[in-house]
Amino acid sequence: MITPFQIVRAWCGWVAAEVRQRGVVAVQAIGVALLLSLVSVSCQTTPRASKAAAGVEPDVRVRIVREAPSVRIAGPAQVAVRPIGSFGEWVGTTPVDVRAEAGVLVAKDAAGVERRFDQGAPIEVRAVVPARTARTAGSRQPPEPDLLVDNRAFPGSLEVHPRTDAGEGAIDIINVTTIETYLPGVLTGELLDNWPLDAYRAQAVAARSYALHERARARLRGRAFDLENTARNQVFAGRTQHEAAVRAARDTRGEALTVGGDVLRAYYSSTCGGRPMGAGSIWPTGAGWEFNGAPPLQVDAPRATFCESSQAYRWQVTRTVDDVSKRIAAYGAANGLSIKALANVRSIVPVEVNPAGRPVQFTIADDKGKTYKLNAEHLRQALNHPAEGLPAPERAAQVRSGDVEFEMRAREIVIRGRGWGHGVGACQFCMNGMARRHWDYARMLAHFYPGARLDRLY
């Protein structure tokens, strides 16, 4: 579980990063002032922190492009580019294309001017704000214009990281912004357009809590980014003007779920299908994973359900025996599991179900008489895993949850399922149903995460 100490350490990391990245005396002064204002908190020694010690809206680093050969950056007329940690900067006219050659980043502007960043360090790209705009905006600093990455708008700045480990010329793009600026783009990425405001508010609090938790983990591990912009963490669509998304983030500013003073890793998924899952039943809870044992994440008994409108409430796909057998074996091989030796599947039956009736563990038997065990989440992933000659299944053919039953036919397996996703924590389609029945977001969050507190962290 992430402790307040860890949160403050991660926060301290942010201040240090700001100082490092901006290299501006004013920022250092602000950083020192903030540190002094945090009574008994020090970044060098073990801090005693309260939730209020975070106090300041954190930044967030979201990976928006992974292992691409190049990227085109546009938006403002000019962008400033510099290696992270250095002062000298190069100003290019947009669009600016960035690529990597043998680990060296090369930027080329609209006039064809190239600049090589030989230091091998990642580079930072910022919008250049025209002086005229700055004057007309009065005494307040004008907002930085959004940067366009492959025609999608992102607030804040970008970092380009060469990924020599991912092949010659691969680069990652990381969007650095503040968490409240980031959240509306998560809400539009995660929810449907026409859902009620309180569904957006509930999602805002869950997404903020999850992001703060994952951010703290990433910084303790020294990772270059905090979150992926995909369902692996949470979908992030970049800048949005969606009214409910912008308003829900603003209405719940700084609010997060906590348990025992720690930020809750507020898992959520699309459709619970009526049978929730406890995190500790399907994910590790040992050293480094204690947060999965948090009591508010262990709901595994029947609860009021409102997600019947989801297309994934009930679903069915049919696969060949060969397809299922090969995918499970390939998943086993990719994860070092004994099930990599699986022959042709004969049966897949649940051997453990939770009090809500949702399968926790399955036994898989093959035609050589061997049996293997796989938990429900692993089975879901295995059934969607690519195998030799079998790419990952199309969206419509995917196995959407681990709440499944199998009907064996001669050469086919009919898979009938409930819901979409892991079923831990909040259910997005239930949020929609609840909001339409006039539940407010605090009531929804108490329903999904019983025992968690709704706290304002900044």
DSSP label at residue 13: H
Could you tell me the strand order of the sheet in which 152-154 lies?
114-117, 104-108, 96-101, 70-74, 147-149, 152-154
- In angstroms, what is the minimal distance from the CB of 436 to Zn ion? 13
Q: Which residue carries 């509930």 as its tokens?
A: 202
- In angstroms, what is the minimal distance from the CB of 302 to Zn ion? 12
- In angstroms, what is the minimal distance from the CB of 429 to Zn ion? 5
449, 297 Cβ separation under 8 angstroms: yes
Stretch that binds Zn ion, among 246-254, 305-313, 334-342, 367-375 (CB under 5 A): 305-313
Stretch that binds Zn ion, among 73-81, 135-143, 168-176, 270-278 (CB under 5 A): 270-278
Q: Does 307 bind Zn ion (CB under 5 A)?
A: yes
Stretch that binds Zn ion, among 188-196, 268-276, 279-287, 406-414 (CB under 5 A): 268-276
209, 165 Cβ separation under 8 angstroms: no
Comparison of 208 and 275: residue with beta carbon closer to Zn ion: 275
Binding mask 326-365 for Zn ion (x = CB under 5 A): ----------------------------------------
Comparison of 22 and 436: residue with beta carbon closer to Zn ion: 436
Stretch that binds Zn ion, among 162-170, 279-287, 303-311, 434-442 (CB under 5 A): 303-311
DSSP secondary structure string for all residues of 121-141:
--EEEEEPPPHHHHHHTTTSP
Stretch that binds Zn ion, among 38-46, 103-111, 264-272, 436-444 (CB under 5 A): 264-272
Rounded Cα distance, 288 and 216, in Å: 13
Comparison of 185 and 419: residue with beta carbon closer to Zn ion: 419
281, 287 Cβ separation under 8 angstroms: no
Comparison of 263 and 307: residue with beta carbon closer to Zn ion: 307
Rounded Cα distance, 297 and 72, in Å: 41
Comparison of 332 and 433: residue with beta carbon closer to Zn ion: 433
Rounded Cα distance, 239 and 246, in Å: 10
| Residue from 314, 250, 305 nearest 432 by CA | 305
Cβ contacts of residue 263 below 8 Å, gap of 6+? 2, 7, 209, 212, 213, 216, 256, 257, 457
Binding mask 219-258 for Zn ion (x = CB under 5 A): ----------------------------------------
What is the pairing mode between strands 59-68 and 227-228?
Answer: parallel
- In angstroms, what is the minimal distance from the CB of 307 to Zn ion? 3
Comparison of 155 and 276: residue with beta carbon closer to Zn ion: 276
- In angstroms, what is the minimal distance from the CB of 64 to Zn ion? 29
- In angstroms, what is the minimal distance from the CB of 199 to Zn ion? 12
> What is the three-class DSSP state of 420?
strand
Structure tokens at 168: 């010659």
Comparison of 182 and 439: residue with beta carbon closer to Zn ion: 439
DSSP secondary structure string for all residues of 77-89:
SEEEEEETT----
Rounded Cα distance, 441 and 432, in Å: 11
375, 282 Cβ separation under 8 angstroms: yes
Which phi and psi (to 5°) does residue 378 adopt? -65, -40
Comparison of 149 and 424: residue with beta carbon closer to Zn ion: 424
What is the pairing mode between strands 371-375 and 152-154?
Answer: unpaired
60, 181 Cβ separation under 8 angstroms: no
- In angstroms, what is the minimal distance from the CB of 102 to Zn ion? 50
- In angstroms, what is the minimal distance from the CB of 127 to Zn ion? 41
- In angstroms, what is the minimal distance from the CB of 264 to Zn ion? 19
Stretch that binds Zn ion, among 16-24, 205-213, 266-274, 386-394 (CB under 5 A): 266-274
Please report, as residue ranges, which positions from 400 to 439 form the binding site for Zn ion (by CB under 5 A): 427, 430
Please report, as residue ranges, which positions from 134 to 163 form the binding site for Zn ion (by CB under 5 A): none
Query: How many positions of this chain bind Zn ion (CB under 5 A)?
Result: 4
Structure tokens at 298: 């262990």
DSSP secondary structure string for all residues of 198-255:
HHHHHHHHHHHHHHHHHHHHHHHTT-S-SEESSTTS-----S---HHHHHHHHHTTTE
Stretch that binds Zn ion, among 84-92, 226-234, 257-265, 306-314 (CB under 5 A): 306-314
- In angstroms, what is the minimal distance from the CB of 311 to Zn ion? 13
User: Rounded to a whole number, what is the distance in angstroms from the first to the last CA of the chain?
Assistant: 20
Comparison of 123 and 272: residue with beta carbon closer to Zn ion: 272
- In angstroms, what is the minimal distance from the CB of 329 to Zn ion? 32
Using only C-alpha atoms, the chain has a radius of gyration, in whole angstroms, of: 24
Stretch that binds Zn ion, among 140-148, 239-247, 271-279, 319-327 (CB under 5 A): 271-279
Comparison of 307 and 364: residue with beta carbon closer to Zn ion: 307
Comparison of 337 and 430: residue with beta carbon closer to Zn ion: 430
Q: Which residues bind Zn ion (CB under 5 A)?
A: 272, 307, 427, 430
